[in-house]
C-alpha cells in the first residue's frame, strides 16, 4: 500500500469535484444551508413566537444529530459518482491498467470523499454554532454550543458516519451493474440514522445525551470498519470492466 | 515479449477466447484481426492483467499473468490504448499525461520531458493546456496514445485505435503507429480493419474465439489461397496447351488465350513452362502471379468456408 498513490488519486478526485457544481452544491451548499436554517428556526421561535428558551434547548441539542446525517449524506453522491463517472467515461480501464493496486485506488477515493464530506459538515457546523450562540446567548446567558454532546456528534459520530457511507457507496457501486442501482443502494447507511432520529423525536432515546451519542459514534465506527474491509475485499475490477452497463 | 499458450477465457459458460496460442517478438507488430465479439478485447485485457483467465498460460516480458507480483511488473511494461480513449475530459491533455506518468511511477523529470516530446511529435503541444473536452476525436486518440507512451513502455497494446475516426484522423494515427514501429516498439494491435492490419503488422493472427490462422500477411494469403500464375498468350493453340500439360503443373485452366496455373514452386516452375510454351511456338504477351487478398483469406476463415 503506497499512500502517495492514493493521495495522487484523491487529488484528481478533488480537481474533478471542484468543477462539478452538483457535487459542490451537495458537499457545501447542504451543510451551509443547514447551518443557517436551523438557527433561523430558533430565532423565529424565540423572538417571534416568544417560546421560552427552556423549551427550545432540547430542540437545539437534537440539531447536532443533523450534522451526523449530513456527514453520511454527502458521500452518497460523491462516492458513487467517483467510481460511476470513471466507468461511464471509460477512464477506469486505463486507470486499472496502471501498476496501482485496488486498495490504493479505493483509499484515494475514500480520502477525497471523506475529506469533502467532513470539511463541508464542519463548515456548516461552524456557521451553525456561531449563529446559534448569537441568537440564544442573550436568552440563555451562556454559549450553548459547543458542548460535550455536540462535540461527540461532530468529531466522533460524523466522521464515522461519513466513512461508513463512503465505504457503502464504494461497495454498492463496485458490485451492482448500473448507476441507478448503485445510488439506490447507497442510501442504505442513512436508514439507521433516520430511525435513530425518529426514535429521538418520539422520546424513545435522548439524542442530546453525550453517552448515547458516544454509543452511536462507536456503532458507526464499527460499521464503517466492517464495510470498509468488505468494500476493498469485494472490489472486483474484472466485474466492473466486464459487467457494467 | 508476449507469449500465450492455450489461453482461454469463459464468461458464465460462454467461451470468449478458446485455446489461444501465439507469441510476439521484441520489436514486432502483431495484428490481432477478427470480427466484433471475436475475443480480441478479452485477449488484450488478459494480457494487460485487467481480467483473469479461465485456463492456459500467458507471459509478458517473462512475467506470468498469474503471478500477483508479476502483474504489477507487466503493467509497467505495457502502455495500453483502450478501445475507448477514457481520458479525464475536465483535465487538459498535459494534466492527463502528468497524472498517468505519475501513476506509472515515472520520475518527474522524465515525465515532463516525455510529455513535451510526445505532444510535439503528435502535434498537440499548442493545445496542451486546453481541456480534453474541447478536442476532436482524432486529437483525443492521439492523447490516448501519448498517455500509453508517457512512461516509455517496452510494449504498446492498442485496441481498435482507429475505430470511429474520420479517414484523415485514422491516417494520422496509422502514421503514428508506423513511426512507433520504426522506433522498434513491440506492438499488439487489435483491429477489424484489414487494410490497417496488413499495412501495420509484421504478423497477423486471425481470431474468432479461436486463433484461425497466424503468419506474415503475405504468407497467410499464399497459405490459404495458394499462388496462381497467369500466362497471357496471343493465341492458346492445342500445341501450346499440350506443351503446358507435358510440364505436369499441379493444376491448370485455359480461358480464351489465358492459361492459369497452380504451381508448387512458381519461382522454379514458371521459367520452365514459359520456355516450353515458347518452344511450342506460343507467343507470350504477359506473365503475372496472383494470389488471394488478405480480405479473401479473412472472410474465408471467419466464415468457415
Residues B254-288 have pLDDT tens digits of 888 888 887 777 778 888 888 988 888 888 899 88
- Are B82 and A90 in contact (CB < 8 Å)? yes
Looking at the fold, whether B152 and B240 belong to one and the same domain comes out as no
- Which residue in the block uniquely carries the three cell numbers 479517414? B167
- Are A98 and B75 in contact (CB < 8 Å)? yes
Residue B254 maps to a domain: yes
Residue B298 maps to a domain: no
Check: CB of residue A34 under 8 Å from CB of residue A66.
yes
Residue B297 maps to a domain: no
How far is the C-alpha of A142 from the C-alpha of A38, rounded, in Å? Answer: 19
Domain edge (last residue) among B215, B245, B268: B215
Chain A residues touching residue B75 (CB < 8 angstroms): 97-99
> Is any Cβ of chain B less than 8 angstroms from the Cβ of A16?
yes
Residue-level pLDDT at B281: 87
Higher per-residue pLDDT: A182 or B190: B190
Domain count, chain B: 2
Strand, helix or coil for residue B109: helix
Residues 6+ apart with CB under 8 A from A31: A67, A70, A74, A120, A121, A123, A124, A125
How far is the C-alpha of B149 from the C-alpha of B154, rounded, in Å? Answer: 9
Q: What is the CATH number of the domain that holds B32?
A: 3.40.50.300
Closest approach of chain A CAs to the CA of B12, in angstroms? 11
Domain count, chain A: 1
Residue B302 maps to a domain: no
Chain B residues touching residue A15 (CB < 8 angstroms): 90-91, 95
- Are A95 and B103 in contact (CB < 8 Å)? yes
Chain B residues touching residue A19 (CB < 8 angstroms): 90
Residue-level pLDDT at A77: 77
Q: Which helix (H) or strand (E) holds B204?
A: strand B203-208
Residue ranges for chain A with pLDDT beneath 50: none
Residue B82 maps to a domain: yes
Looking at the fold, whether B211 and B241 belong to one and the same domain comes out as no
Residue B305 maps to a domain: no
ipTM score for this prediction: 0.83
Residue-level pLDDT at A223: 92
Task: List, for residues B114-161, the tens digit of each pLDDT value.
Answer: 999 999 988 899 999 999 999 998 899 999 999 999 999 999 999 988
> Is any Cβ of chain B less than 8 angstroms from the Cβ of A48?
no
Looking at the fold, whether B169 and B231 belong to one and the same domain comes out as no
Write b or e for each residue in B148-164: b if 16 or more Cβ atoms lie within 10 A of its Cβ, otherwise e: bbbbebbbbbbbbbbee
- Are B82 and A15 in contact (CB < 8 Å)? no
Task: List, for residues B56-102, the tens digit of each pLDDT value.
Answer: 999 999 999 988 888 999 999 999 999 888 999 989 999 999 999 99
Average pLDDT of the segment spanning B218-240: 77
Looking at the fold, whether B264 and B143 belong to one and the same domain comes out as no
Looking at the fold, whether B39 and B79 belong to one and the same domain comes out as yes
Domain edge (last residue) among B215, B233, B265: B215
Residue-level pLDDT at B44: 94
Check: CB of residue A152 under 8 Å from CB of residue A210.
yes
Q: What is the CATH number of the domain that holds B245?
A: 3.30.70.980
Looking at the fold, whether B153 and B66 belong to one and the same domain comes out as yes
How far is the C-alpha of B136 from the C-alpha of A93, rounded, in Å? Answer: 21
Residue-level pLDDT at A232: 80
Q: How do beta strands B186-191 and B251-255 pair?
A: unpaired
Give the structural domain span for A72: 3-243
Looking at the fold, whether B246 and B125 belong to one and the same domain comes out as no
Chain B residues touching residue A89 (CB < 8 angstroms): 86-89
Residue-level pLDDT at A9: 93
Looking at the fold, whether B257 and B211 belong to one and the same domain comes out as no
Q: Could you say which of A12, A241, A242 has the minimum Cβ distance to residue B99? A: A12
How far is the C-alpha of B4 from the C-alpha of B43, rounded, in Å? Answer: 10
pLDDT surpasses 90 at B46: yes
Burial of A129 (0-12, 13-18, 19+ CB in 10 A): buried
Residue-level pLDDT at B222: 65
- Are A237 and B50 in contact (CB < 8 Å)? yes
Give the structural domain span for B240: 224-292
Residue-level pLDDT at B291: 67
Looking at the fold, whether B199 and B246 belong to one and the same domain comes out as no
pLDDT surpasses 70 at B214: yes
Q: How many CA atoms lie within 13 A of A230 on its CB side?
A: 18
Average pLDDT, chain B: 87
- Are A100 and B103 in contact (CB < 8 Å)? yes
Domain edge (last residue) among B195, B215, B235: B215
- Are B51 and A237 in contact (CB < 8 Å)? yes
Looking at the fold, whether B171 and B62 belong to one and the same domain comes out as yes
Looking at the fold, whether B238 and B183 belong to one and the same domain comes out as no
Amino acid at each position: 500500500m503506497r499512500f502517495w498513490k492514493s493521495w495522487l488519486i484523491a487529488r484528481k478526485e478533488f480537481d474533478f469535484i471542484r468543477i462539478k457544481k452538483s457535487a459542490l452544491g451537495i458537499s457545501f451548499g447542504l451543510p451551509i444551508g443547514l447551518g443557517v436554517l436551523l438557527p433561523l428556526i430558533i430565532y423565529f421561535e424565540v423572538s417571534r413566537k416568544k417560546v421560552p428558551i427552556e423549551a427550545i434547548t432540547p430542540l437545539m441539542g437534537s440539531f447536532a444529530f443533523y450534522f451526523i446525517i449530513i456527514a453520511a449524506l454527502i458521500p452518497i453522491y460523491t462516492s458513487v459518482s467517483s467510481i460511476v463517472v470513471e466507468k461511464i467515461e471509460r477512464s477506469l480501464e486505463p486507470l486499472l491498467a496502471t501498476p496501482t493496486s485496488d486498495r490504493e485506488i479505493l483509499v484515494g477515493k475514500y480520502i477525497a470523499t471523506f475529506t469533502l464530506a467532513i470539511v463541508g459538515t464542519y463548515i456548516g457546523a461552524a456557521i451553525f454554532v456561531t449563529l446559534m450562540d448569537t441568537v440564544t446567548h442573550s436568552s440563555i446567558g451562556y454559549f450553548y454550543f459547543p458542548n460535550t454532546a455536540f462535540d461527540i456528534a461532530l468529531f466522533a459520530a460524523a466522521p464515522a458516519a461519513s466513512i461508513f457511507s463512503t465505504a457503502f457507496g464504494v461497495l454498492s457501486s463496485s458490485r451492482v451493474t448500473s448507476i441507478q442501482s448503485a445510488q439506490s443502494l447507497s442510501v442504505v447507511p442513512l436508514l439507521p440514522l433516520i430511525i435513530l432520529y425518529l426514535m429521538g423525536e418520539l422520546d424513545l432515546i435522548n439524542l442530546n445525551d453525550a453517552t448515547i451519542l458516544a454509543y452511536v459514534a462507536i456503532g458507526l465506527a464499527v460499521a464503517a470498519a466492517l464495510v470498509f474491509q468488505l468494500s476493498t475485499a469485494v472490489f472486483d475490477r474484472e466485474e466492473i470492466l466486464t459487467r457494467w452497463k | 515479449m508476449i507469449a500465450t499458450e492455450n489461453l482461454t477465457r469463459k464468461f458464465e459458460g460462454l467461451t470468449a477466447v478458446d485455446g489461444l496460442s501465439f507469441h510476439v517478438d521484441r520489436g514486432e507488430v502483431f495484428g490481432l484481426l477478427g470480427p466484433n465479439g471475436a475475443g480480441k478485447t478479452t485477449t488484450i485485457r488478459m494480457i494487460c492483467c485487467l481480467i483473469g483467465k479461465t485456463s492456459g498460460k500467458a507471459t509478458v516480458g517473462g512475467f506470468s499473468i498469474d503471478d500477483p507480483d508479476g502483474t504489477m511488473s507487466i503493467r509497467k511494461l505495457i502502455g495500453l490504448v483502450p478501445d475507448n480513449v477514457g481520458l479525464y475530459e475536465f483535465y487538459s491533455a498535459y494534466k492527463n499525461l502528468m497524472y498517468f506518468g505519475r501513476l506509472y511511477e515515472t520520475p518527474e523529470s522524465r515525465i515532463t520531458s516525455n510529455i513535451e516530446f510526445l505532444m510535439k511529435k503528435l502535434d498537440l503541444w499548442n493545445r496542451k493546456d486546453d481541456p480534453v473536452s474541447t478536442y476532436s476525436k482524432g486529437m483525443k486518440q492521439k492523447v490516448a496514445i501519448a498517455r500509453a507512451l508517457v512512461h516509455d513502455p517496452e510494449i504498446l497494446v492498442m485496441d481498435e485505435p482507429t475505430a470511429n475516426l474520420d479517414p484523415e484522423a485514422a491516417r494520422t494515427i496509422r502514421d503514428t503507429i508506423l513511426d512507433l514501429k520504426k522506433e522498434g516498439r513491440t506492438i499488439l494491435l487489435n483491429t477489424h480493419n484489414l487494410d490497417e492490419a496488413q499495412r501495420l503488422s509484421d504478423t497477423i493472427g486471425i481470431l474468432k474465439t479461436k486463433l484461425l490462422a497466424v503468419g506474415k500477411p503475405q504468407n497467410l494469403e499464399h497459405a490459404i489461397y495458394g499462388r496462381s500464375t497467369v500466362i497471357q498468350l496471343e493465341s492458346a493453340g492445342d500445341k501450346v496447351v499440350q506443351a503446358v500439360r507435358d510440364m505436369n503443373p499441379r493444376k491448370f485452366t485455359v480461358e480464351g488465350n489465358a492459361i492459369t496455373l497452380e504451381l508448387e514452386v512458381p519461382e522454379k516452375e514458371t521459367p520452365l513452362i514459359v520456355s516450353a510454351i515458347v518452344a511450342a511456338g506460343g507467343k507470350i504477351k504477359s506473365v503475372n502471379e496472383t494470389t488471394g487478398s488478405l480480405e479473401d483469406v479473412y472472410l474465408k476463415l471467419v466464415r468457415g468456408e
